[in-house]
Amino acid sequence: MDRRPDALGQQRRRARFHVRAASRGVGRGAAARRPGIAGTVMNTMAATIVAPWTATLTEAQYLLTQYFLVLAGLALFAGFVRTWMTQGEVGARYRSAVVARLSVMGVAFLSYVYMLINLRLGYDLTVSGYVPNELAINAMVPRFMEWSLTVPLLSVELLTVCTLVGTAARRTRIAAMGGGFLMIFTGFLGAVVIGGGTSLTALLVCGSLCAVFWIFTMSVLIRQVRRSLPQLTVESADLLRSATIVLLSGWFMYPVMFMIPMLGSGGAWTTAMQIGYSVADIFVKVIFCGLVHRVAKLRTAEDVRSGLDVHPEAIWISSIKQSDAGLPREVFLDDASTVHHRRPRPPLSSAVAAAPTKMPGYTET
């Protein structure tokens, strides 16, 4: 009997069996090699990034960084001088805004001077470019120390020209200052302290906490500004709204710069961070503070016109006279003393020279 057809069938069945076994083996190998959710999380936890102050800069990148650091420092110094020279234009009710503005300008200017010094000392010029040394970190990290003071002070400056008074004003200032400080401190932990600026996990976790405090601080400021707008004049409300938009828009730039190490590394990214931070500082500290100063001057003029406050000189804004000098109508002494009414000043045409006053014991020779 011819059994060749049966042998051929068996060979075909064995071939199909081997193909199925091989396909199952490949499937099991692929499944074994395919990472699960836990593996992905572990890979993310173990991932590292490059600290921006460790990148080598080209000559163009170094010069651009130096240019914007000098530009921001000079703008802050000019703002400090202007604030110092014009602090008498604001009434006592809004003097806290002037003090906060002076502090912001002074602290930020000193911070930029320190970063410029370390930019010069922290990079060594070689054939391959400007190579960072152990001092290069001080060309960027002092920003966090400066922001820890200036961000709460900027919040105080904005809240001072709002209509909050008494206990509510104090509580709101404390909340805004605390939120602003924690926003910067958590960002500093993730970007610098934990892992030396190379831990992606620290950057993500601390960045998320920073975002929470960032949203909290902005919500506090926005809520108080919105409550104040209906109680102000149209001009004051418009200026206060513009100042708030400038401040919050500038604060949006900082998270973008904070996330750059997660996008890439190298001299170009480091230069972009330095330029972005410098421009944001000019935008927030110089332009915003200038708008708040105008709001304080305008509200001072409104208080003088309504008789709520006095001011020793006329108030001008953009060459437009907002109010005359407001002098007190009465001089109040101690409770046991009499109130003396102010006497009108005699005309200069009837003024006569006073007799010379002689000192006791003086004799003419």
The CATH number of whichever domain residue 272 belongs to comes to 1.20.1070.10
Residues 6+ apart with CB under 8 A from 147: 184
Residue 79 has pLDDT above 80, yes or no: yes
The pLDDT tens digits of the residues spanning 87-132 come to 888 888 888 999 999 999 999 999 999 999 999 999 999 998 999 9
Domain contains 361: no
pTM equals: 0.74
Q: Please tell me the distance from the alpha carbon of residue 16 to that of residue 25, in angstroms, as a whole number.
A: 14
The pLDDT tens digits of the residues spanning 204-251 come to 999 999 999 999 999 999 999 999 999 988 988 999 999 999 999 989
Confidence of residue 19 (pLDDT cuts 50, 70, 90): very low
Domain contains 113: yes
Closest alpha carbon to 234 in 168, 298, 319, 163: 298
Number of domains in the chain: 1
Residues above pLDDT 90, as percent of the chain: 51
Residue 192 has pLDDT above 50, yes or no: yes
Domain contains 90: yes
Confidence of residue 313 (pLDDT cuts 50, 70, 90): confident
User: Could you tell me the CA-to-CA distances from 309 to 99, 157, 190, 225, 256 in Å, in that order?
Assistant: 19, 20, 48, 23, 44
- Name, of 4-18, 186-200, 327-341, the range with top average pLDDT: 186-200
Q: Give 123's DSSP letter.
A: E
Which tokens belong to 57? 């800069």
**pLDDT for position 302:** 83
Domain contains 289: yes
Q: Please tell me the distance from the alpha carbon of residue 158 to that of residue 294, in angstroms, as a whole number.
A: 12
**pLDDT for position 86:** 87
Question: Which residue range forms the structural domain that includes residue 267?
Answer: 52-162+229-306
Cβ neighbour number for residue 42 with a 10 Å cutoff: 12
CA torsion 136→138→141→146, rounded to 10°? -150
Q: Give 140's DSSP letter.
A: T
